[in-house]
Chain A
């Protein structure tokens, strides 16, 4: 069954939320890429806002605005994906517990430390009693939420589904992960990712929500042709056959793809596979990238889906997205992301 994206909203480190222009201005960062936040008082009252951490604010705002955009009040399901969930509240509770040796602790931060606060708060706000799951499978968290949503539509369980990917980064979490050599050792511009010669990347965050449906609305952004992912792939040959088999299974060939969005993150070791693909399997296809805009985080593929769906709707590939300066007006986009040669994911979208 065809699946359409009828609403697409993102809060990210770039000006992506309810803007008149499509990425014509780009924000530069050198360490943490924190999301650009709207004035949340435009969306919630003081009593509602008082408990929301940053992730809850960006989660609730993008989710509710997506529903509004699609004109859907009671979605058939709410599926969310998050790699790390509500880290800020988790850290607040954990730190206070450790600092006070299990002293006076706040129930609010504990309650809101659970990952499913994300999906549950949306349900609570919309009084939506339908299916509701939060996926936490690292860089495939959003893919799982999307796959579940597509399955529910195919099962006839729901017509319109709210699906999103959300993560936040905190200074403390950034510092802890520094020890694993995940980040660039020195400040590094997000606009220089393609010129990187070192390991490590720049961490980011964001929330991207979509309303997907079996019916195309007037506001339709794109059609999801397919989604597939694989946890382990043995070598480059296996990877090329993963692409070929998936395209073939969906009656497509490489020539049908007009633009590939690669998950390049500036870590020279991790990025090798993207460049290898770009120079072989997709050598005749225009290439783009997105993590210089969003930063690296577990649900960055949700940001990529926001980007791809907007490219198709606006008929325009922002210059900042292009790897090569090829002129391209894509009808079909493939998003490819992976995590250290694991968790390979493909999403293919076309114009609706």
Chain B
């Protein structure tokens, strides 16, 4: 059974809608700027892919019940899921089973940071702290309750939500699934990554020899995936197929990847197998490419292991959006779908020199009309949780 993508929705530092994101990507306009919305003592020394909208503004725009009662991750998720639902032209139909599956890492942390020490001010915040709250609220907003699930596998959370959604369709448990990733900036993650000493104080440079680390970002990226039967019934043409998925564990270290790229290699290999494709069928890879020393070298080694001397055109879009953690898989899956839809490859901005040991050069300009058929996207997380998806032209 095949699984199709029929809608996309996205909010990131480079745009509040699909169209805005596409314009920024085409114009090579980064969203990594000074930190303004998040209140932190580190704002003058760090940059991030921050969405310049307050929670109040997001909440008002979405008409969510009470202003300031939903965490930022929830607001971003509803924003992107709503766009995807509309983009797919989906309407509730009791003849079809609709589910919502979301990947996230911080859940309601932004509210917890405010109220953990002052619970008297707003005792309700603890109800919104757990990750599952986001999914419950998105399901409520879309009135889609047939199955709801939340996954937290660090930075691969978003891709894993899509992998699960695809399998639920193949197992005939759902007909349509709203799948995606969401995460907001928080003091918790900013300070956390600071202790790991892997933040680049300037715009990150993925796959560059002189890369200094990552920039954090925030956002949400969602897909509507659907069964053939559901599409036929409503006479809808899909955008592309979600043809492959792979999940593997690096099992090497809690935060670093193994030198031979085992986990990334295995997840890409599995995804090819599910899609029934050969390495040479892949036309473009939206790599994880965080800009950290460790990620880029090990991902590069895994690419060379799998693709030998024919590594496909590839780029990291994290120097546009920052590393949006649990949302990154969601956002980059949407970029991958856009790549197929518009026959477009996005540039890896801020790159100048290749990593010597790899000699791999990412795409640095917008490329159009390459005849793209299959796009791969990677997400690798803490704990060695690695995932890969493949999207294919129909």
Contacts and interface: CB of A to CB of B under 8 A. Distances in A.
Nearest to B129: A84
A151 B160 contact: no
A136 B191 contact: no
B116 A98 contact: yes
A129 B124 CA distance: 40
B195 A110 contact: yes
A180 B126 CA distance: 8
Interface string B173-206: 0000000000000011001101110000000000
Interface string A91-125: 10111011001100111001111111101110110
B123 A180 contact: yes
Contacts of B250: 129
A270 B53 CA distance: 39
B152 A115 contact: yes
A136 B127 CA distance: 14
A20 B150 CA distance: 38
A128 B131 CA distance: 26
Contacts, number: 174
B42 A114 contact: no
Most buried by A among B132, B135, B196, B253: B132
Interface string A153-189: 0110000000000000000010111011000000000
Contacts of A210: none
Contacts of A173: 126
Interface in B153-184: 153-154, 160, 164, 167, 170-171
A272 interface: no
Interface in B244-277: 247-255, 262-263, 266
A140 B139 CA distance: 15
Given A119-B383, A130-B249, A113 B192 contact: yes
Nearest to B40: A102
A50 to B, nearest CB: 13
Contacts of B247: 131-133
Contacts of B154: 114, 116
B251 A129 contact: yes
B130 A136 contact: yes
A200 interface: no
B41 A111 contact: no
A136 B151 contact: yes
Interface residues of B, number: 60
B249 A129 contact: yes
A298 B252 CA distance: 30
B96 interface: no
A27 interface: no
A213 interface: no
B348 interface: no
A144 B382 contact: no
Contacts of B107: 136
Interface in B81-136: 105, 107, 109, 112-113, 116-117, 119, 123-124, 126-127, 130-133, 135-136
A206 interface: no
B294 to A, nearest CB: 14
A44 to B, nearest CB: 15
B70 to A, nearest CB: 16
B132 A83 contact: yes
A110 B148 contact: no
Contacts of B141: none
A120 B266 contact: no
A85 B195 CA distance: 21
B24 interface: no
B116 A132 contact: no
Nearest to B246: A131
A31 interface: no
A135 B151 contact: yes
Contacts of A95: 116-117
B266 A129 contact: yes
Given A94-B116, A116-B152, A124 B145 contact: no
B382 A101 contact: no
Interface string A137-149: 1101100100010
Given A85-B152, A94-B112, A107-B195, A130 B248 contact: yes
Contacts of B147: 231
A141 B119 CA distance: 26
A105 B131 CA distance: 24
Given A107-B196, A110-B195, A120 B383 contact: yes
A144 B130 contact: no
B103 to A, nearest CB: 9
B2 to A, nearest CB: 15
Interface in A294-331: 298
A179 B119 contact: yes
B286 interface: no
B248 A133 contact: no
B160 A133 contact: yes
A151 B42 CA distance: 45
Interface string A66-96: 0000000000001000011100000101110
A214 interface: no
A97 B384 CA distance: 26
Contacts of B188: 93-94, 97, 110, 113
Contacts of A283: none
A111 B127 contact: no
B211 to A, nearest CB: 20
A105 B151 contact: no
Contacts of A110: 188, 191-192, 195-196
B336 interface: no
A102 B41 contact: yes
A128 B148 contact: no
Contacts of B382: 111, 114, 116-117, 120
A124 B252 contact: yes
A97 B132 contact: no
A1 to B, nearest CB: 12
Interface pairs A-B: 3 shortest CB-CB: A120-B383, A179-B123, A110-B192
Interface of B: 40-42, 105, 107, 109, 112-113, 116-117, 119, 123-124, 126-127, 130-133, 135-136, 139, 145, 147-154, 160, 164, 167, 170-171, 187-188, 191-192, 194-196, 247-255, 262-263, 266, 381-385
